[in-house]
Amino acid sequence: GQNIDQPTEMTATEGAIVQINCTYQTSGFNGLFWYQQHAGEAPTFLSYNVLDGLEEKGRFSSFLSRSKGYSYLLLKELQMKDSASYLCAVRDLNNQGGKLIFGQGTELSVKP
Amino acid sequence: DVKVTQSSRYLVKRTGEKVFLECVQDMDHENMFWYRQDPGLGLRLIYFSYDVKMKEKGDIPEGYSVSREKKERFSLILESASTNQTSMYLCASSLLENTQYFGPGTRLTVL
């Protein structure tokens, strides 16, 4: 079957570092996406991993381990505007030819 | 920049009404998607389309239909709206199997 797990909520302090984890179980893994979604707005694309390792993009980094079915999103130098929901999504080739399966999202609150 | 637009940000309809949600993308993307997003359930795929006139059922197609007469436009239709269809509806598009880009969403309330 297909399953994606991520924590429901996290709280962190402005200026700190936070790591949001995502574990998945799919039979035809073909890539993992992270999206950011502010309240009442559409998800916006943050990162994509298909090979093992770390992808860095400014203050945001995403890591993937395919053998462990595990990814994390690392946010550095947290800012108040980083308060949002972070969605992990996996592309599964055995799911209707590669449609995305989304986790429920992690609600991150950044406090001063 | 990719731009995906949706016809309404907020919509209020009555039970039994026929509802049309429109989505337009300006990047010549082949693939278009309709999702609904509900608290605790995440994003769930309703329908998607690989090309003009083509449509495929997603995970929760019941109570919905779609239309793709032009490449840039993908419409979601609620034939007879019900209260359990109150939700946030998100449209997305992608170039083949690449990153999906989302529209701003339509928050639909069915009374």
pLDDT in tens, B57-66: 999 999 999 9
pLDDT for A65 equals 97
Give strand ranges (E) for chain A: 3-5, 9-13, 18-25, 29-37, 44-49, 53-57, 60-65, 70-75, 84-92, 100-102, 106-111
Compute the distance between CA of residue A92 and CA of residue A95 in angstroms, rounded to an integer: 5
Contact B97 A105 (CB under 8 A): no
Mean pLDDT of chain B: 93
Q: Confidence band (pLDDT; 50, 70, 90) for B42?
A: confident
Select from A82, A88, A92, A77 the least CA-distant residue to A29.
A92
pLDDT for A2 equals 61
Does the pLDDT at position A110 exceed 60?
Answer: yes
Compute the distance between CA of residue B34 and CA of residue A18 in angstroms, rounded to an integer: 31
Out of A8-17, A58-67, B1-10, B87-96, pick the least confident.
B1-10
Residues facing B24 on adjacent strands: B5, B73
Contact A33 B99 (CB under 8 A): yes
Neighboring chain B residues of A22 at a CB cutoff of 8 Å:
none
Contact A99 B45 (CB under 8 A): yes
Over residues B29-55, the mean pLDDT reads: 92
Q: What is the CA A42 to chain-centroid distance, rounded?
A: 15
pLDDT for A97 equals 64
- For residue B6, give the chain A residue with the closest CA: A42
Residue B75 · residue B89 · CB < 8 Å: no
Over residues B35-39, the mean pLDDT reads: 93
Over residues A51-59, the mean pLDDT reads: 95
pLDDT for B95 equals 86
A91-97 long-range contacts (CB < 8 A, ≥24 apart) are A91/A29, A91/A30, A91/A31, A91/A32, A91/A33, A91/B97, A92/A2, A92/A26, A92/A27, A92/A28, A92/A29, A92/A30, A93/A28, A93/A29, A93/A30, A94/A26, A94/A27, A94/A28, A95/A2, A95/A26, A95/A28, A96/B48, A96/B56, A96/B58
pLDDT for B57 equals 93
